[in-house]
Amino acid sequence: MERLYGVPLTDLDSISSLVSSPETSLITALNVWFGSLLACETFHADVHAGNLWWLRDGRIGFLDFGIVGRISPKT
């Protein structure tokens, strides 16, 4: 468990003050999430704007892992 400091994806004014290219950061975050579908045993299964935050250092934090999914290796 770690405390994250940032703003929700719905706060566009604050996001613009944190990163110069919000679109690029969001695409990178979603690529990381999609990569977790392919490479990890479990993945965050509740990805929406309320569970993604722009952190003060420009990274995106994934919140609330209350719902996780799993894709079997056979699939």
How sure is the predictor about 20, in pLDDT bands with cuts at 50, 70 and 90? confident
How sure is the predictor about 8, in pLDDT bands with cuts at 50, 70 and 90? confident
Domain locations in the chain as residue ranges: 6-68
- Residue partners of 15: CB distance under 8 A and separation at least 6: 7, 9, 22, 54
Quick: pLDDT tens for 29-60: 888 888 887 888 888 888 877 888 888 887 88
pLDDT score at 49: 76
Average pLDDT along the chain: 82
Catalytic residues: 46
Average confidence (pLDDT) over 13-19:
80
